[in-house]
Amino acid sequence: MILEQSARFKIEPEDFILSLRRMKIAGLSDGTVIRVFEVLPAAFMNDGIDVRSRIEFLKKTAGIKEQEEINGVCHSYPEFLAFSIDCKLRPLFSEFFDLGFDRIEVRNLLTENPSLLLNLQLGELSRCVNLLEGLKCRIPIKERILSRGRLFAAIDVKTRIDLLCRHGLTQRDAFKILHVEPRSILYSPNELEKKIQFLLEPLGFSIEHLVEFPSYLGLNLEKQIIPRLRVVELLRSKGALEMEVELKHFVRMSRREFYNFFVKPYPECEKIFGGLMRNVELNDVRKKKLKHPTGLWKLFKPIKYSDSEEDVKNMKQFMETLV
């Protein structure tokens, strides 16, 4: 196998065996060494990569001491072994600590998903942290975003930004969308991908519409968007639509507004929109008229005080003066 792989990557067998011994001394397991060789064959060249210095830097800076964790990081993301310590790794970890993250947070994320952390560019995480600090949303939403800590929340922002940019948006527009609609941070990348694909194909809008209507990413497809699309498709098939339906009709119109405008004039649309809303509304109105608030009679009942003998005597004297 050594001869075969050496010929494939044009590496001298002696260099391969020497690099193999160095990695063994550094504590890497057989599986990790094979993984490194598959992804990064340059590490086995005579004048190639100093793997041991990268591993020592990681142990010292991130506080990783367990050899099993080092094997996990190198096996999951061996590409970092090719990074320059002075130009890439040291400035990156300095940025982490300057932002206020402690070693425990960095270590936890590094062992859980090393590629997310080590693949960051300088300044990326700072922008994500600034976005989190400037969020203007309800407190429960912000608490859910920060439930795993600021570092994990910043990485969540970064993954959503990358997802939006892969679909053609600029970083500036992507940050603007997350700033206006923080609920999109709570959705997983798979859920956001599903919403974007639904926006592009069934709805027929472009990705640029998200800049004007970022709240679309915070809505529930099954409960709000899909029922409205079914109504619109039915009206189109019957030629009843004389206007162009825009994304604002799906996003900004309340349920009652959409019902009154698109559904109420066409009774056949009521079932696919979610049932006969008129009967439900009438029943709710009747219930409100017939049902009194519980306990309201207690508010108008006078408070009863016990009369003492002295109170009775004073009342009798007062009545005698009136006679």
For the chain, the structural domain boundaries read 245-323
This prediction has a pTM of: 0.74
**Per residue of the chain (323 residues), what is the pLDDT tens digit?**
667 766 776 777 777 777 777 787 778 888 888 888 778 776 666 556 788 888 889 889 988 878 888 889 999 999 998 899 999 999 999 999 999 998 999 999 999 999 999 999 999 999 999 999 999 889 999 999 999 999 999 999 999 999 999 999 999 999 999 999 999 999 999 999 999 999 998 999 999 999 999 999 999 999 899 999 999 999 988 888 888 899 999 999 998 899 988 898 888 888 888 754 455 454 555 555 555 555 665 666 666 666 677 777 877 777 777 76
Mapped to the 3 state alphabet, what secondary structure does the chain carry?
A: CHHHHHHHHCCCHHHHHHHHHHHHHCCCCHHHHHHHHHHCHHHHCCCCCCHHHHHHHHHHHHCCCCHHHHHHHHHHCHHHHHCCHHHHHHHHHHHHHHCCCCHHHHHHHHHHCHHHHHCCCCCHHHHHHHHHHCCCCCHHHHHHHCCCCHHHHHHHHHHHHHHHHHCCCCHHHHHHHHHHCCHHHHCCHHHHHHHHHHHHCCCCCCCCHHHHCHHHHHCCHHHHHHHHHHHHHHHHHCCCCCCCCCHHHHHCCCHHHHHHHHHCCCHHHHHHHHCCHHHHHHHHHHHHHHCCCCCHHHHHCCCCCCCCHHHHHHHHHHHHHHC
What pLDDT was estimated at residue 64? 85
